[in-house]
Structure 1
Amino acid sequence: MSGSPTHGTGDVREAWGRVTAWLERNDPETLAALGGPGNHAAIREAELRMGLDLPGELRQWLLVNDIDAGRRPDGQACLVALGCEMDIPGGHLLLGLTDIQRVYLSRLGLEEAEPSADPAHPFWRREWVPIAAERDGLYGTFLDTRNGTIGFWDEASGPEEGVYASLFAFFQETADRLEGVSSGDWRGPGRPAEPREPAPRPEDEPIRLWARANGYPVNDRGRIPAHIREAYEMSQR
């Protein structure tokens, strides 16, 4: 991260209120998909399951709208089972409490099972809480519980930390996008206006082609599992 964010802080309920007010006027179906209010007991259960305390901003947001409140994914659901599609920075599906837990535990489990090559720059940290993600969880948006900043992760090229100064800043820019205005620079210091869209690493493409030809399931992007990489290397000897 290029520096500690010093701007873009405020009451997340105010920023989120701008988002929901716009949706009420222009997109009531998406507003309905955001679900009803969350509750303290469910948030505490999620904290215990994940083994961390959620920051106040995230708690405030989830108490206003928990996308997953009263809903449960079916047994065949993708990793992100209940996310809400809307225009947020970076794209992805906005997550409710159930999907936050599912994605968090999946990302943490993957990092623990196959640790990143550089411990100083892991693909996932225990302190990161996902707030948006694609269905497969390979890329998305996280809140860093250490400092409240918002970043993006992508399996193909690793995470980008401190893109937004806070959850308040992230939702302020979401509201700006919806309203078609710019009410301020809500990004972290020295950050570009839009997050980059990293592409899969070219050097991994031969491995993916070999894996598919030999019956190994592999995604189009993201980290290639260690056992597939090892099998490919053995085949090249």
Structure 2
Amino acid sequence: MSGASMHETGDVREAWGRITAWLERNDPETLATLGRPGSHAAIREAELRMGLNLPREMRQWLLANDIDAGRHPDDQSCLVALGCEIDIPGGHLLLGLTDIQRVYLSRMGLEEMEPSADPDHPFWRREWVPIAAERDGLYGTFLDTLSGTIGSWDEAYGPEEGAYASLFAFFQETADRLEGVSTGDWRGPGRTARPRRLDPRPEDESIRLWARANGYLVNDRGRIPASIREAYEVSQR
């Protein structure tokens, strides 16, 4: 059995334990931000709100540490209101259960409000659950609840599926980063060479300039909401 395949599956609690043990020795301040153990009741409430069942691996991780347990974001918070800064692949903030729900519902809402042009390659799938993200939720890492694999999304490039074979493999890579160890490629065999680039439409920059001049909030990258695009088109008639 190859080194890579041995680490595609395993007990996520073992991989997570490597991370927390390293933090306990080297970075107790970050360890303190990982929160306290989660609860079965909170996980079940989150599943009902998102309308899906979380895989056993993810449940085990959240029961060990839920970054958001006992914490509540204020009304003025970014989409990712809490989160933990730790050296995970992708460099995003690791999410707790509250932020997982916030980002998931936001991504699903965007996909339902403005469906992807290519249904075979949507910007978001119902079975994807975020585990890490930037504050604005436009970039991050997700777990596929059907396959158990780890992927990433980027508003400018689109999603990349199958980057890691499992949550266990993802956390093993994180532990390796922290410990300064490199023991091979932990990623699953289904990894694509690179994300699909979604080139912006030629008129996008003009729309962004017009939107800002007229009081609309619009990101520098990623999709322009259909409502803003339509308002721009009306203004040009």
For normalisation by structure 1, the TM-score amounts to 0.91
Residue aligning to 1:105: 105
Counterpart secondary structure, 1:136 = coil
C-alpha spacing 1:95/1:51, structure 2 compared with 1 (3 Å): same
Deviation (angstroms), 1:206: 2.5
Q: Is the 8 A contact 2:139 2:155 kept in 1?
A: yes
Task: Please tell me the residue identity of whatever aligns with 1:145.
Answer: T
C-alpha spacing 1:88/1:196, structure 2 compared with 1 (3 Å): farther
In the alignment, the residues of structure 2 paired with residue 236 and residue 86 of structure 1 have an alpha-carbon distance, to the nearest angstrom, of 46
In the alignment, the residues of structure 2 paired with residue 199 and residue 146 of structure 1 have an alpha-carbon distance, to the nearest angstrom, of 25
Q: 1:79-132: per-residue Cα shift (whole Å, max 9, x none)?
A: 111111111100111000011011111111111111111111111111000000
Residue aligning to 2:182: 182
Residue aligning to 1:163: 163
Percent identity reads 84
Q: Is the 8 A contact 2:161 2:192 kept in 1?
A: no
Q: Which residues of structure 1 form unaligned runs of 5+?
A: none
Q: Is the 8 A contact 1:200 1:222 kept in 2?
A: no
Q: Is the 8 A contact 2:160 2:195 kept in 1?
A: no
Residue aligning to 2:78: 78
Counterpart secondary structure, 1:215 = coil
Residue aligning to 1:201: 200
Q: 1:137-156: per-residue Cα shift (whole Å, max 9, x none)?
A: 11100000010000001111
Residue aligning to 1:173: 173
In the alignment, the residues of structure 2 paired with residue 95 and residue 183 of structure 1 have an alpha-carbon distance, to the nearest angstrom, of 26
Counterpart secondary structure, 1:148 = coil
Residue aligning to 1:214: 214
Instruction: Give the RMSD, CA atoms, in angstroms.
Output: 2.2
Q: How does 1:84-99 map to 2 (within 5 A)?
A: 84-99=84-99
In the alignment, the residues of structure 2 paired with residue 25 and residue 191 of structure 1 have an alpha-carbon distance, to the nearest angstrom, of 33
C-alpha spacing 1:123/1:6, structure 2 compared with 1 (3 Å): farther
- Report whether the alignment pairs 1:62 with 2:73: no
Residue aligning to 1:29: 29
Q: Is the 8 A contact 1:157 1:201 kept in 2?
A: no
Residue aligning to 1:123: 123
In the alignment, the residues of structure 1 paired with residue 201 and residue 20 of structure 2 have an alpha-carbon distance, to the nearest angstrom, of 41
Deviation (angstroms), 1:6: 9.2
C-alpha spacing 1:21/1:200, structure 2 compared with 1 (3 Å): farther
In the alignment, the residues of structure 2 paired with residue 30 and residue 232 of structure 1 have an alpha-carbon distance, to the nearest angstrom, of 45
Q: Which residues of structure 2 form unaligned runs of 5+?
A: none
Task: Please tell me the residue identity of whatever aligns with 2:178.
Answer: L
Counterpart secondary structure, 2:216 = coil
In the alignment, the residues of structure 2 paired with residue 197 and residue 134 of structure 1 have an alpha-carbon distance, to the nearest angstrom, of 20
Task: Please tell me the residue identity of whatever aligns with 1:209.
Answer: L
Q: Is the 8 A contact 1:154 1:198 kept in 2?
A: no
Q: Is the 8 A contact 1:7 1:188 kept in 2?
A: no
Q: Is the 8 A contact 1:95 1:132 kept in 2?
A: yes
In the alignment, the residues of structure 2 paired with residue 198 and residue 27 of structure 1 have an alpha-carbon distance, to the nearest angstrom, of 37
Counterpart secondary structure, 1:84 = coil
Deviation (angstroms), 1:75: 1.2
In the alignment, the residues of structure 1 paired with residue 213 and residue 105 of structure 2 have an alpha-carbon distance, to the nearest angstrom, of 31
In the alignment, the residues of structure 2 paired with residue 230 and residue 92 of structure 1 have an alpha-carbon distance, to the nearest angstrom, of 32
In the alignment, the residues of structure 1 paired with residue 11 and residue 224 of structure 2 have an alpha-carbon distance, to the nearest angstrom, of 40
Residue aligning to 1:149: 149
